[in-house]
Amino acid sequence: MHVLFKRWAAMVAAVLGFIALGIQPSNALVEINVAGGNIEPLPIALLVFGGDDAKLSADIVSVITADLKRSGLFRPLDPQSFIQKDMDVNTQPRFGDWRVISAQVLATGSVFRQSDGRLRAEFRLWDVFAGEQMIGQQYFTTPENWRRLAHIIADAIYERLTGEKGYFDTRVVFVSESEPKDKRVKRLAIMDQDGANVRYLTRGDDLVLTPRFSPTSQEVTYMSYAGGNPQVYLLNIKTGQREVVGNFPGMTFAPRFSPDGQKVIMSLQQNGNANIFSMDLRSRRTTRLTNSAAIDTSPSYSPDGRQIVFESDRGGSQKIYVMNADGSNPHRISFGPGSYSTPVWSPRGDLIAFTKQHEGRFMIGVMKPDGSQERILTEGYHNEGPTWSPNGRVIMFFRDTPGANGGPQLWMVDLTGYNERRVETQGFASDPTWSPLLE
Amino acid sequence: MKMNGTFMRGLRVAAVALFVAACAQTRPDNIANSTVAPGTAQDFVVNVGDRVFFTVDSSDLTTEARETLDKQAQWLQQYPKYTVTVEGHADERGTREYNIALGARRATAARDYLISRGVSADRLRTISYGKERPVAVCNDASCWTQNRRAVIVVNNAGS
């Protein structure tokens, strides 16, 4: 944890030492075993940016504020409480005014339109108690990229204060669902991680499922029923170009990229069995990795590319297995009750997220790659399909609701299990896949 | 005070056209007319029965399923001009990818049984829709039972 968070945690502990006595903690989250603990969010003051376009400045600060708040790690303070109402980005704040309202950090900035039409944004982050500048940055971009500018500033704040990369300047590809449940139309769509700027990538005339973002490029691999022949495809998000992955004698599904983006790993259905194959996108060479009379699917590489986690019912019901990238040494890692599916290796390598079904409930959880320290982060009627933020701190998934009018929506939860939020989409949405940080 | 200058990383995203949703296709699943002409696809649906059902997470053929498949095999041998698509489906109480494979397993079980009853393998094709094409949408076991199915779709032969 970063030193500033440590200082804040110590201050919170000192206060709670008085008021926590005799207060029974809430029982609402009793099933959730929290490893990281419930972090008290850091109070941050985000002063409206100066500049020549008041609305644009306000919009940018509002996107930064929403990003930081959604992370659960920050508590943006109410601007009504600010004593120093406006200040030039190039002057030192009156730190005393910010200490009085208990701000730990203060962000100030400005945005100007240059004569060439581009935006010039300046931004500073201040440690209020130390009275020091923590970040000073200048950015240039075109006006239509103002939301990305805001996300990049939010990432800079997140990284400076947590010591880890942020995840705000990212996108999510998902399956947008419309029409009644028995006539669903599904389209691939892309949006910013906060739900803004939705665009459709496919038309809806073919059933499309399970998009997975490339960790290295603006491409997704997904399953499409185009031409009545369900297969794995590649789609270039920028050009719209798509192609079938490989030439397999049967249905291919459950695709995912290798960490270097050079391979796609997937299941091939052969009669009643599904086995896992990889295909090198350059040489087009395919390699069989499992050969079992079972359903082996949902493969996902470790970030070093050396291992693959997958689900299999080879032992009678769906469990999670890990094997070497060449298919050797498959061994089961999940041993709890119920069935386990859709394992996804964290980009940090430290955890595997999964869907678990037990006694009619669907949960999203994480476990270490050796299967130990299983923790359930959320549970309910139906939760499915985790995808990791690129920094491995947040999981997005979809939650379905029952009945004729029910349908899936996107949610995110961080690794503490406490900070769970819906990701707003128009209509139903499922199968989210998180992009890497944009370039 | 220090101010670092950085240019924003390449910020352009290709424009992607907005498309209009296509209409979902419909199929005559529930025809309740017993006066259909013999030897038609409708005859197969109404008088033979076009689907068999499975228990939870299973692709084993029940006694009832075998009886239906026996009748189907008989009909298909009587009308050899038809080819057949065997669709496998799962209920919504599973994860998407597993259900795709489970649907394939069910379609394979139905296809293999028809072959064992004399229907030529080259008339039979399978496809799995997993949990993506439910026929019943309520939230209880009565609907899930209807959705765990293999549907034998008779393709209209060039007639």
> What are the tens digits of pLDDT across the range A44-54?
999 999 999 99
Nearest CA in chain B to A182: B134
Checking if the pLDDT of A234 tops 80, the result is yes
| pLDDT band at residue A43 under the 50/70/90 scheme | very high
Are B97 and A272 a contacting pair at CB < 8 A?
Answer: no
Q: Cα separation of A196 and A116, whole Å? A: 27
A110 touching B, CB under 8 A? no
Q: Is residue A275 within 8 angstroms of chain B, CB to CB?
A: no
Q: How far is A203 from chain B (nearest CA, A)?
A: 5
The residues with which B51 forms a beta bridge, in sequence order, are: B151
- pLDDT tens digits, one per residue of A200-233: 999 999 999 999 999 998 999 999 999 999 999 9
**What pLDDT shows up at residue A283?**
95
In sequence order, what DSSP letters do the residues of B13-62 get, joined into one string? Answer: -------PPPPPP--------TTPPTTSHHHIIIII-SEEE--TT--PPP
Nearest to A386 by CA among A408, A368, A412: A412
8 A C-beta contact, residue B31 and residue B41 = no
Instruction: Say if residue B61's pLDDT is above 90.
Output: yes
Q: How far is B143 from chain A (nearest CA, A)?
A: 10
What is the edge-to-edge ordering of all strands in the sheet holding A383-388?
A: A383-388, A394-399, A409-414, A420-423
- Residue B59: per-residue pLDDT: 97
Residues 64-93 of A with CB under 8 A from B: 90, 92
Tell me if A209 and B96 make a contact (CB, 8 A cut-off).
yes
pLDDT of residue A439: 83
Task: Work out the average pLDDT over A420-434.
Answer: 96
Query: Which pLDDT belongs to residue B80?
Result: 95
- Sheet with A428-434: list strands edge to edge: A199-200, A185-192, A171-178, A428-434
Compute the distance between CA of residue B54 and CA of residue B150 in angstroms, rounded to an integer: 8
Q: Provide the number of CB pairs (under 8 Å) joining chain A to chain B.
A: 168
Chain B nearest C-alpha distance from A12 (Å): 31
As a whole number, mean pLDDT of residues A431-438 equals: 97
Interchain CB distance below 8 Å, B19 and A355: no
The pLDDT assigned to B15 comes to 33
Taking the CA of residue B40 and the nearest CA in chain A, the distance in Å comes to: 23
Among A115-129, A151-165, B132-146, the minimum mean pLDDT is found in B132-146
pLDDT of residue A292: 94
Question: Percent of chain A having pLDDT more than 90?
Answer: 86
The residues with which A100 forms a beta bridge, in sequence order, are none
Tell me: pLDDT of B20 over 50. Answer: no
CB-based burial, A283-308: b 16+ in 10 Å, e otherwise: eeebeebbeeebbbbbbbbbbeeebb
Cβ atoms of residues A376 and A334 within 8 Å: no
CA atoms within 13 A on the CB side of B34: 3
pLDDT at A381: 95
Mutate to test the interface with A, among B19, B91, B95 (most CBs of A within 10 A): B95
**Structure tokens given for A155:** 């990432």
Contacting residues for A93 by C-beta, under 8 A, at least 6 apart: A84, A87, A106, A108, A126, A128
pLDDT score at A89: 80
User: Which residues in chain A (32-71) have CB-CB distances under 8 A to chain B?
Assistant: none
Task: Decide if A404 contacts B137 (C-beta within 8 A).
Answer: yes
Determine the pLDDT at residue A13: 52
- pLDDT tens for A126-152 read 999 999 999 999 999 999 999 999 999
Mean of the per-residue pLDDT values of chain A: 91
Identify the pLDDT of residue B10: 40
Cα-Cα-Cα-Cα torsion B128, A257, A352, A316, nearest 10 degrees, comes to 30
Does residue A434 register a pLDDT over 60?
Answer: yes
CB-based contact B11 A187, cutoff 8 Å: no
Please report which confidence band the pLDDT of residue B34 belongs to, taking 50, 70 and 90 as the band edges: low
- Token pair in block for residue A437: 């940080």
pLDDT at B77 over 90: yes
Q: Does A179 touch chain B (CB under 8 A)?
A: yes
Global confidence as pTM: 0.89
How is B112-159 classified by DSSP, letter by letter?
HHHHHTT--GGGEEEEEEETSS-S--SSSHHHHHHHSEEEEEEE----
Do A360 and B93 lie within an 8 Å CB cutoff? Answer: yes
pLDDT at A88: 80
Task: Tell me the average pLDDT across B99-109.
Answer: 98
Is the pLDDT at A31 greater than 90? The verdict is: no
The encoded tokens of residue A270 equal 């052969």
The mean pLDDT of B65-86, rounded to a whole number, is 97
- Asked if the model's pLDDT at residue A69 lies above 90, the reply is yes
Summarised one tens digit per residue, pLDDT across range A159-179 is 999 999 999 999 999 999 999
For the cut 50, the answer to whether the pLDDT of residue A363 exceeds it is yes
Confidence of residue A365 (pLDDT cuts 50, 70, 90): very high
B105 and A384 within 8 Å at the Cβ level: the answer is: no
As a whole number of Å, the CA-based R_g of chain B is 22
With a cut of 80, say whether residue B28 has pLDDT above it. no
CA distance B69 to chain A (A): 18
In contact, A438 and A169? CB cutoff 8 Å: yes
What angle do the packed helices A146-162 and A3-19 form, to 10 degrees? Answer: 70
The predicted structure's pLDDT at residue A61: 97
ipTM, interface predicted TM-score of the complex: 0.90
The answer to whether the CB atoms of B100 and A200 lie below 8 A apart is: no
Q: Which one of A124, A145, A431 has the shortest CB-CB distance to B8?
A: A145
| pLDDT value at B27 more than 50 | no
User: A222 and A202 in contact (C-beta within 8 Å)?
Assistant: no
Instruction: Please compute the mean of the pLDDT values over residues A322-345 and round it to a whole number.
Output: 97
**Is the pLDDT at B22 greater than 70, yes or no?**
no
- Three-state secondary structure call for residue A164: coil
Query: In chain A, which among 136-175 make CB contacts under 8 A with chain B?
Result: 136-142, 145, 148-149, 152
Cβ-defined contact of B14 to A240 (cutoff 8 Å):
yes
Dihedral-angle region of residue A68 (phi above 0 means left; psi in -120 to 50 means alpha; beta otherwise): alpha
Higher pLDDT, A201 or B23: A201
* Contact check, Cβ <8 Å, A204/B18: no
Q: Given the structure tokens 């499975």, which residue do they identify?
A: B54
- pLDDT for B33 equals 52
- Out of A200, A251, A298, closest to residue B18 by CB: A200
| A399 vs A421: CA distance, rounded Å | 11
DSSP string, A256-276: EE-TTSSEEEEEEEETTEEEE
Q: For B101, which of A141, A145, A267 is closest by C-beta distance?
A: A267
Look at A382 and B139 and tell me if their CB atoms are within 8 Å.
no
Give chain A positions within 8 Å (CB) of B100: 209, 223, 230, 251, 253-254, 269, 297
**Cβ-contact B105, B113 below 8 angstroms:** no
Please enumerate in sequence order all residues whose Cβ is within 8 A of that of A184, keeping only pairs 6 or more positions apart, or say none. A177, A178, B24, B132
Q: Among A128, A102, A197, A119, which Cα is nearest to A153's?
A: A119
Reduced DSSP (H G I as helix, E B as strand, rest coil) percent helix, strand, coil of chain A, to 5: 15, 40, 45
Rounded to a whole number, what is the distance in Å from the CA of A409 to chain B's nearest CA? 15
Chain A residues with CB inside 8 Å of B16's CB?
A: 190, 199-201, 237, 240
Question: Does the structure show a pLDDT above 80 at A4?
Answer: no
Pairing mode, if any, of strands A242-244 and A252-257? Answer: unpaired
User: Nearest CB to B98: which of A186, A341, A402?
Assistant: A341
Three-point CA angle B112, B117, B122, nearest 5°: 60
pLDDT digits (tens, 9 = 90+) for A236-288: 999 999 999 988 989 999 999 999 999 999 999 999 999 999 999 999 999 99
User: pLDDT at position A8, please?
Assistant: 66
Q: What's the pLDDT at A15?
A: 46
Among chain A residues, CA nearest to B57: A317
Mean pLDDT of B113-127: 97
Kind and range of the H or E element at A385? Answer: strand A383-388
